[in-house]
Amino acid sequence: MLRALWPSTRRGTRGRSGFACAVAYWLPITPDMHDALDPLDPRYLSVLRWHGAITGALLLLPAAGLETGLYFNDLPNGFVVAIALAVAAWLTVVAPPRRFRHWGFLLTDRELHVAHGWWTRVHTIVPVGRVQHIDLTQGPIERSQGVATLVLHTAGTEHSEVTVPGLSRERAEEVRDRIRAAIEASPW
């Protein structure tokens, strides 16, 4: 299995000395690399389930409408809703724990590591000195579960936003404050 480390920064690349240049590196994944990352807050699993249930419900509405049309036209019916129910069950019951298990983050003195993905494993490394500003967001479902999403904005245009979802509000504020202190202490 391979892991992408992204973005890496280099100074002085074709005159873009102040910007982060995204360079993908492929390294083999070892089990201890994933174990070193901090997991997300367990309450985020409920947020993922709610998102899956809402998406499933939005999928069931047109399926029910299509089934109604099939019924009134004396055509075979039931299979469209059955498929939609199977997809909704997958989105609500099966997919959230799988997505949750494959997220992790680690904040060191100089970098924030964020890893996610099952099929394509992405490991993003953000040098703390490159962070321009930090957002802490909470949607209504996240707020009800007590979790937040930390959003880091770095220099550059492509891949300049890094998100860490599913942190407890207190942990997100702690990470934000540590990054802010490191930015203020950095020499540039």
* pLDDT level of residue 71 (50, 70, 90 thresholds): confident
Helix (H) or strand (E) holding 150: strand 147-154
> What's residue 150's pLDDT?
96
pTM of the predicted model as reported, rounded to 2 decimal places: 0.76
Sorted by sequence, the CB contacts under 8 Å of residue 141 that are 6+ apart come out as: 47, 50, 51
Q: What pLDDT digit, counting tens, does each position of 3-52 carry?
A: 343 333 333 333 333 333 333 333 344 445 556 899 999 999 999 999 99
Q: Does residue 137 have a pLDDT over 90?
A: yes
